[in-house]
Amino acid sequence: MMVSTKGRYALRVIIDLAQHKDEGYVSLKSISERQKISLKYLEMIAASLNRAGLVQSQRGKEGGYMLTKPAAEYTVGAVLRAAEGDLAPVSCLDCGENTCERADSCITLPMWQRLDGLINGYLDSVSIEDMLKGEL
């Protein structure tokens, strides 16, 4: 599995925030109830999104999270990478580090690289707004 629950949940968080973007800061508690994801797990995911600058937070009472830009400017790829790290389909391609000693002679490497390009290209071409509008 290339994308775990962490990434899928992150996507749902961003979508939820987009759907409630006119309500000021949205608390994780409310997202937790709507999305049926535990508050504690959401905290971890929100922290990743925050670190990546995809959301902004407000602490204290009446606090929560909101998007930092319009939904059209979020790509699925960017959200998943913020939550999951790299989206490489094989470890050979992870983080650009090509530590495999047989890389030079590996006849499968070009195939993996093309696959990786295909996956990232597609995920970066789909925006959150596309999904909200059902435009796929």
Binding site for its own copies (CB under 8 A): 1-3, 8, 11-12, 15, 76, 88-92, 94, 107-108, 110-111, 114-115, 118-119, 122-123, 126, 131-132, 134, 136
**What does the angle CA 106 – CA 111 – CA 112 come to, to the nearest 5 degrees?**
85
Binding partner selected for residue 99 from its own copies, DNA, none, CB under the kind-specific 5 to 8 Å limit: none
Judged by beta carbon distances under 5 to 8 A according to partner kind, the member of DNA, its own copies, none in contact with residue 41 is DNA
Looking at the chain, the number of H-run helices and the number of E-run strands are 6, 2
Query: At closest approach, how far in Å is the CB of 131 from its own copies?
Result: 5
| Residues 56, 21 contacting (CB under 8 angstroms) | no
Kindly tell me which of 24 and 117 has the beta carbon lying closer to its own copies: 117
Give CA–CA dist 34/128, Å, rounded.
18
